[in-house]
Structure 1
């Protein structure tokens, strides 16, 4: 099969070629619960750029060359002898984690903390290819209204945004405020989820005019340009006290300190993006009683919930399609901020 393969890291992201489009061996059924999916779409994520940079070398045990791509959807191509819930030809979306289902975390539905798991595209071969090996437990059948290429990025970007927005929505009331920092690939989904799950006023902060326009299209009530005065602007919109919840999809540079400054006392700061540091005197934590919440990608049931919202038209993805052979262009466009929403590779 054809695949876009990572052969070497590039810490400066300056090489002409990040991945190499080439022939590789077809995946094989090994375990009775294995499923081979013919890829209909593979999302291109900023995490993939971090992988190219080598940031994940200390986090996962993976040897180059390997295939990235952790946002995948397509059609069932082949099944192991123990698979019963899907059949060849079924359109499916893949939860990004493949687990055994036997550990206590799995049984509690806490997929991301399973003791026995694989993460295609992170610690094993992923979906920047024509075919992907996953597990039966990871698959959700798609309704006729949703095509694989249109929903693939929901499996990480959408699911991560959904998890954070769902957490925030549980304590947001009408008349309250929630700030979304970053209206890109994750943020534009988070805005829609907030609109679907709660009645708080949504304020979106971003440096990009394109992203702010997308935020408006997705239902933001207020937009604030990230021009250095965003904290003051948010405080003015919220009556001087800040927002009850801030969801930070950037998580690096000045975004962290500014996000905390936008959070009112006893409010919640949800950190989703990464790369920066949270530096806060302990006395400020005590006197403000702010809660800082980390967010991994969501669970299998949360992906089912997100697909229900998408099926009803309450959430949609802004996507830009690329051929699999153009994976380098997709990665470079993402790196240089030229992608509105999410990039998707189509084999």
Structure 2
């Protein structure tokens, strides 16, 4: 089968023909219908051998995966051959602690470092892939190409937003900083799930216009005056919830400055910057939290929202054999939504 493989650390990945795997006990073989690309992948390509710890390449990239059950391993129940499914990207969970038992495997007490599809183990930029059945979610008749970005971009933002929903009552305000692939889905979740005013913030005018089309009440250009504008819009109160999908020092600073007392700022962006935390550095009573991906329970809910038409994944489609072009478009900021590579297709897709 064809797969997009990172062979050596810090070397350009390449397409290779490799053997089609077979499922062992507790595993499923998934025929990949779509695999989304993510900025995380670009970071993985730059990792040194030491940064891979005990799971260095070679490996197949790609962690946003949906497709169909192709083969069922021994002991697996509850799945049918040919059934459409989506895959949770984070696989390092124990399966036994309280968060795992609740279906919040991403918060497993015993995950020591991030490992999963395309991150230490073979991912979904291939025609087929193996995964433990406990990380697979049935999704009815939903299109795997549209589902693929929801397994990370959708799951990450939904998991971050869900705890804030009780405070997002009429008259409150939610702010999404960075309305690219993650933020655009966040705007839709907020519009669907709460009655708060939704403000989109970005440096890209096209992204802001698209955010307004998908439910943002207000769209603001990101600069040094953004926090003050948000306070003006909220009559000085600030935002009850801020979701930072960037994680740069400037966006974190804006988020804290725009946050209401007793508000909640959640960071999901991976720019890896920090800001001061102290008694006078954040609004009184405010919560600053982080969130990473999500678990099987939330993925089921995300897929169901998409099946009902409540959210829409904006997808730029690429054949698997054009995956290098897709990564270049991602790195250059030329994508309209999330890039999804489709195995078995050899011609350009509109």
Does TM, scored on the shorter chain, surpass 0.5?
A: yes
Alpha-carbon spacing, 1:57–1:251, altered in 2? closer, same or farther (3 Å) = farther
Tell me if the contact between 1:257 and 1:278 (Cα under 8 Å) persists in the aligned partners: no
1:297: which partner in 2?
293
| Secondary structure, counterpart of 2:280 in structure 1 | helix
2:92 is aligned with 1:96: no
> In the alignment, which of 109, 112, 115 is matched to residue 106 of structure 2?
112
Q: 1:56/1:204 Cα in 2 relative to 1: closer, same or farther (>3 Å)?
A: farther
Residue number among 248, 252, 255 corresponding to 1:256 in the alignment: 252
Aligned to 1:320: 316
Moved more, 40-49 or 104-113: 104-113
Shift of residue 272, structure 1, vs aligned partner: 0.6
Distance in structure 1 (CA, Å) of the matches to 2:322 and 2:63 = 17
CA contact (8 A) 1:248 1:272 kept: yes
Listed one character per residue, the Cα deviations across residues 131-177 of structure 1 (whole Å, up to 9, x for unaligned) are 11012112222222x21111111111100011112122221110110
Give the 3 Å change call, closer, same or farther, for CA 85–287 of structure 1 in structure 2. closer
Indicate if the aligned counterparts of 2:249 and 2:275 stay in contact, CA closer than 8 A.
Answer: no
Measured against aligned partners, the alpha-carbon deviations of 1:236-290 in whole angstroms (never above 9, x if no partner) come to: 2122232111100011241111111111222111111022332225232576222
Partner of 1:196: 192
Q: Give the match for residue 122 of structure 2.
A: 125
Give, in whole Å, the separation in 2 of the partners of 1:81 and 1:3: 25
Unaligned runs of 5+ in 1: 11-16
Q: Residues 8-19 of structure 1: matches in 2 within 5 Å?
A: 8-10=8-10, 18-19=12-13
* The 10-residue stretch of structure 1 (202-211 or 78-87) with the greater mean CA deviation from structure 2: 78-87
In the other structure, the counterpart of 2:3 is 3
CA distance in 1, matches of 2:37, 2:229: 32
**Counterpart in the other structure of 1:82:** 75
SS of structure 1 residue aligned to 2:19: coil
How far apart are residue 7 of structure 1 and its match? 2.7
Change (3 A) 1:268 1:7: same
Alpha-carbon displacement from aligned partner over 1:311-344 (angstroms, at most 9, x marks no partner): 1110110000011111111111111111112000
Deviation at 1:57, TM superposition (A): 5.8
Pair 1:58 & 2:51 matched:
yes
TM-score, with normalisation over the residues of structure 2? Answer: 0.91
Q: Structure 1 residues 287, 22: CA separation in 2 closer, same or farther (over 3 Å shift)?
A: closer
Could you tell me how far 1:211 is from its partner in structure 2?
0.8
In 2, Cα distance between equivalents of 1:94 and 1:154: 10
Matching residue of 1:139: 136
Q: What is the number of residues matched between the two proteins?
A: 339
Shift of the 286–251 alpha-carbon distance from structure 1 to 2, 3 Å rule, reads closer
Q: Structure 1 residue 59: deviation in Å?
A: 6.9
**Do the aligned residues in 2 keep the contact of 1:19 with 1:327 (CA within 8 Å)?**
no
Would the aligned equivalents of 1:256 and 1:276 in 2 still touch at CA under 8 Å? no
Structure 2 segments unaligned to the other structure (5+ residues): 344-350
Query: Could you tell me the TM-score, scaled by structure 1's length?
Result: 0.92
